[in-house]
Amino acid sequence: MKKLLASIVPLALTAMIGISPAAAAEEGGTPHYPINHLKEVDWSFAGPFGTYDKGQLQRGLKIYVESCSACHSMNLVAFRTLEDLGYSEDQLKTLAANYEVEDGPNGDGEMYMRTAVLSDHFPSPFPNTEAAAYANNGAAPPDFSLLAKARYVERGFPQFIFDIFTGYNESGPNYIYSLLTGYQEPPQGVEVPEGAHYNPYFIAGPALAMAQPISDEQVTYDDGTPETVDQYAKDVAAFLMWAAEPHMEERKQTGFMVIIFLAIFASLMFLTKKSVFASKEH
């Protein structure tokens, strides 16, 4: 028991006084990743009444299609669901026609490739995981469908207590934004393996196999939005949040109505109890 307390107390004190993972590593302690705390972004969908910005989601889709789809699949997202972003059926048919998917078997019992239709999902750019890893320095790029929910980073004490009441669910988008804008030269004394790239926001270590995937003016925006890495990172992170939770707005609206109903119901029950027992002697 004494040994258990001796190991828990330092961790609790570290969390309470806010010592960063980077400081702990510099002091010779066990490194924790990500090294830096995530950057906080003011998302439109944050909070109990937050909603998606469709213009931002469309920009994020454009970034995925032009810069990310060459390596990352979205095998849980169908082309037809993009109608929620404000696209017409003809626009989505044109987008789907840019992809080919495997189908079959045909009459000869063989699989074949065909042009994608609205009911298809974004296909993987690689035939299998091994091929994806071989083409990307030994690390297979993850599927993007649920990435914004899968990459959850704890904010620590005391933030996680408040997060319970505020409905905080922006950790994934914050992580994606921080990672895309966090590439930098390794600090003195830090060795990065050949072919890896230093990023203190990476959740699994100080460096990752993926090079910085996007640069300024790489993707052209038609609405006048700044074409910078910072803006690109925000837009694609928001789009990936929508991909992971497309019905978030409906969920929040339903939750709000349930809370209102419970408040009214509790008030009526209190008034009923008060009326029933008003004439009773206590």
Tens of pLDDT, residue by residue, the chain (282 residues): 444 444 443 444 344 434 445 554 455 566 788 999 999 999 999 988 899 999 999 999 999 999 999 999 999 999 999 999 999 999 999 999 999 999 988 888 889 999 999 999 999 999 999 999 999 888 899 999 999 999 988 887 788 788 877 778 899 999 999 999 999 999 998 889 988 999 999 999 999 999 999 999 999 999 999 999 999 999 999 999 999 999 999 998 998 899 999 999 999 999 998 888 877 666
| Amino acid, res. 1 | M
Residue 121, beta-bridge partner list: 78
Handedness of CA 41, 47, 53, 59 (dihedral sign): positive
The pLDDT value given to residue 114: 93
Are the CB atoms for 239 and 253 separated by under 8 Å?
Answer: no
Please tell me what DSSP assigns to residue 33.
Answer: S
Residue 74, beta-bridge partner list: 122
**DSSP-derived pairing of the beta strands 207-208 and 100-103:** unpaired
Please name the residue that has the structure tokens 């042009």.
115
Please name the residue that has the structure tokens 């609790």.
12
Distances (CA, A) of 87 to 43, 98, 239: 22, 16, 14
The pLDDT value given to residue 30: 67
Token readout for 233 is 């990172």
pTM for the whole structure: 0.84
Query: Who's near 94: CB < 8 A, 6+ residues apart?
Result: none
Torsion of CA 40, 45, 50, 52, to 10 degrees: 150
Look at residues 22, 58, 79, 92 and name the one whose alpha carbon lies nearest to residue 219: 58
Query: Who's near 258: CB < 8 A, 6+ residues apart?
Result: none
Taking CB atoms within 8 Å and a gap of at least 24, the contacts of 250-253 are: 252/48, 252/49, 252/50, 252/167
Look at residues 180, 162, 164, 184 and name the one whose alpha carbon lies nearest to residue 172: 180
Alpha helices, DSSP H, located in 136-228:
147-150, 159-166, 171-180
Residues making up the chain, counted from first to last: 282
Q: Where are the beta strands (DSSP E) in the chain?
A: 74-78, 100-103, 112-115, 121-122, 197-198, 207-208
How close are the terminal C-alpha atoms of the chain, in Å? 51
